[in-house]
Structure 1
Amino acid sequence: MPVSRPPRKTERPESDRLSDRGGTNPTPPLAFAAVILANVALAFGPLLVRMADTGPVAAAFWRITLAAPVLALVMLVGPARPRMPGRGQAGLWALLLIGGVAFAGDLGTWHIGIRQTTMANATLFGNSATFIFPLYGFLVARAWPSRSQGIALILAAIGAGLLMGRSYQVDPRHLVGDLLCILAGLLYAVYFILMSRVRVAMPPIPALAWSTMASVVPLFVFAALLGERVWPDHWSALILLALGSQIVGQGLMIYALGLLSPLVVGLALLVQPMVATAIGWIVYGETLALPDLVGVAMVAIALVMVRRGSTRTVATPHDRDNE
Structure 2
Amino acid sequence: MQPTEAPRWQAVAMLVFGACVIGFSGVLVRLTGTGPAAAGFWRLTCALPLLAIMTRRMSGPLGRPTPIALLAGLTFALDLGFWHYGIKYTSVGASTVLSNLTPVVVTAFAWVFLKQRPRALFLLAMAVAVGGAWMMGAGRGGGTPVLNAPLGNFFSLTTAFWYALYFLTISEGRKTQAASRLMFWSGVAGAPLLLVAALLLREQILPTTLAGLAACLGLGLVHTAGQGSIAWAMGRLPTSLASVVVLVQPVVATYAGFLLFGEALGPLQTAGAAVALGGVVLAQWAARPRPAPSA
Which category of TM-score, normalised to the shorter sequence, fits these structures? 0.7 to 0.9
**Residue in structure 1 matching 2:134, options 161, 174, 178:** 161
TM-score by length of 1: 0.80
**Aligned positions of 1:52-131 closer than 5 A:** 52-81=32-61, 83-84=63-64, 93-131=66-104
Q: Deviations over 1:96-115 (max 9, x none)?
A: 11210111111112111101
Q: Deviations over 1:292-312 (max 9, x none)?
A: 222222222222222122246
Structure 1 partner of 2:184: 209
Q: How far 1:226 sits from its partner (Å)? A: 0.7
Tell me which amino acid in the other structure corresponds to 1:114: I
Partners of 2:219 and 2:189 in 1: how far apart? 18
Q: Deviations over 1:70-126 (max 9, x none)?
A: 2112212223445337xxxxxxx1111121011111111211110100122110112
Q: How far 1:168 sits from its partner (Å)? A: 9.8
TM-score by length of 2: 0.88
Are 2:93 and 2:250, in contact at CA under 8 Å, matched by a contact in 1? yes
Q: How far 1:49 sits from its partner (Å)? A: 0.7
Structure 2 partner of 1:242: 220
Partners of 2:95 and 2:228 in 1: how far apart? 22
Are 1:130 and 1:268, in contact at CA under 8 Å, matched by a contact in 2? no
Q: Deviations over 1:128-160 (max 9, x none)?
A: 223211222212344642132122122112212
**Residue in structure 1 matching 2:277, options 268, 278, 300:** 300
**Aligned positions of 1:142-221 closer than 5 A:** 142=115, 144-167=117-140, 173-221=148-196
Secondary structure of 1:115's aligned partner: helix
Partners of 2:255 and 2:147 in 1: how far apart? 24
Secondary structure of 1:78's aligned partner: helix
Which structure 2 segments of 5+ residues have no match?
Answer: 290-295
Structure 2 partner of 1:318: none
Number of equivalences: 280
CA RMSD of aligned residues (A): 2.4
**Percent of aligned positions with the same letter in both sequences?**
29
| Large movers: runs of 4+ above 4 Å | none
1:276 matched to 2:249? The reply is no
Which structure 1 segments of 5+ residues have no match?
Answer: 2-16, 18-26, 86-92, 313-323
Partners of 1:108 and 1:96 in 2: how far apart? 18
Q: Deviations over 1:161-186 (max 9, x none)?
A: 211121399x9821111111112221
Are 1:121 and 1:167, in contact at CA under 8 Å, matched by a contact in 2? no
Are 2:126 and 2:280, in contact at CA under 8 Å, matched by a contact in 1? no
Q: How far 1:190 sits from its partner (Å)? A: 1.0
Partners of 1:284 and 1:172 in 2: how far apart? 14
Partners of 2:141 and 2:282 in 1: how far apart? 28
Structure 2 partner of 1:255: 232
